[in-house]
Amino acid sequence: MVVVFDAELWIWDARRADTWTFVSLPAEASDEIRDLAGGSRRGFGSLRVRVTVGGSTWKTSIFPDSGHGSYVLPIKRAVRTAEALDAGVIATVTVELIDF
pLDDT tens-place values along the chain, 100 residues long: 999 999 999 998 766 666 899 999 999 999 999 998 886 666 678 999 999 999 999 999 999 998 888 999 999 999 999 999 999 999 999 999 997 6
pLDDT for residue 68: 81
3-state secondary structure the chain: CEEEEEEECEEEECCCCCEEEEEECCHHHHHHHHHHHCCCCCHHHCEEEEEEECCEEEEEEEEEECCCCEEEEECCHHHHHHCCCCCCCEEEEEEEECCC
pLDDT at residue number 66: 82
Q: Domains of the chain: which residue ranges?
A: 2-97
Paired with 64 in beta bridges are 71
pLDDT at 15: 64
Which amino acid does the sequence have at 76?
K
Q: What integer pLDDT is reported at residue 50 of this predicted model?
A: 98
pLDDT value at position 40?
60
CATH class, domain 2-97, is mainly beta
Judged on CB neighbours under 10 Å (0-12, 13-18, 19+), 99 is exposed
At 41 the pLDDT is 63
